[in-house]
Chains A and B, each alone.
Chain A
Amino acid sequence: MMDKVLLAGFGGQGVMFIGKIFAVSGMIADLNVCWIPSYGPEMRGGTANCSVILSDEEIHSPVIDQADGGIVLNQPSYEKFLGRIKPGGVLVINSSIVNLNKIRDDIKIIKVPATEIANELGNSSIANMVCLGALLPHLNLTDYEKVKKAIYEVVGEKKPELLELNLNAIKKGMEH
């Protein structure tokens, strides 16, 4: 079984970070994991994206052509990655800032006003975590408990106030 996930947004929206959380949650579950960032000048300005594969068998091709799930946090990412979700797959959209000018009816589109929810929670920079929460129930190999452990591992004990905030954001996202 495999989860192939694409994540995209503006640089600074925490795209790489949620990718890493997914990857670490896979490590915790003793799965095979592959995390690939866009890198170099691509990282500075414009869109940032990364892909994550979780698998209970060996991951041969690390290249995701058609993903099982995706998160797009801004308009350019939406336009770029809408076609990259396989039929029957799931795409989570930050509907606070993405205008759904194109649509597909062969995939499940989850609209989450993530920026607004993040603001309500008191920190605009956790829209990424809200979207992570929205995608989570649609993945096979990871879940809230594993992601919670991953956040503890990545964020660590240095910023305990951030742990709770992140977890609340994920829970809010899961309601969508």
Chain B
Amino acid sequence: MQKVFGRPKGLTEVAFSFCPGCTHGIIMRLVGEVLEELEIIEDTIGVSPVGCAGFCQDFFSCDFVGAAHGRAQAVGTGIKRALPDRIVFTYQGDGDIAAIGTQHAIHTAARGEKITSIMVNNAIYGMTGGQMAPTTLEGMKTSTSPYGRDLVINGYPLDLPKTIATLDGVKYVASVSVDSPKNILQAKKAIKKAFQVQQAGLGFALVSVLSTCPTNWGLSPVDSLKWLRENMMPVYEMGELKVAEEVKNL
């Protein structure tokens, strides 16, 4: 009997430990598929962050380094500078890359560091139990914005990929979602391209993936997907935000 669907080789046998309905699992699977399809599992070193995304070090089948909160891209820079012929990627939540690690996000991109960053944006701090993130939407209730995010007090949500796309060292930026089969396919294409940019030695690539957090949003998995579509997609600019000339030819 022919096997038509299975676990990608880019993932280990360790079972995902995410909450029911969380889309981290889909995103990790896409990255795992890309590692397998590009035949780079043995050449790749991943950098895990702090937060729910941090569990990824057990789920991917490549070598991994666990970074301090927000520092994944600096750690990735150190690895890439030591081993320029390897593939280095970071897998980070929005709090990790867009709040506590923003200086590295900006400067890793500005330097054109030849690494790939995957940002998972669920508009909340998941692991610590649902606090406000840099990406929390206006009016959205979290445990540290119990009356809803007030723009006067907390300011506006940060659309990091849009900012990163303006920097010269950046070759590819996409903002995608995994809320529907169609969008999942698009997300995979973007993730694959982000790794191909690095394979070609072109420069920095970032893919931001909108993700759900049913537990901390207090919604069912299905309602979470609907909420993401109706509330997050209008705020965060979607699609390919930057495709450098040389990337178009890949």
Contact between A and B in the complex (any CB pair below 8 Å): no
Interface residues in chain B, defined as those with a beta carbon under 8 Å from any beta carbon in chain A: none
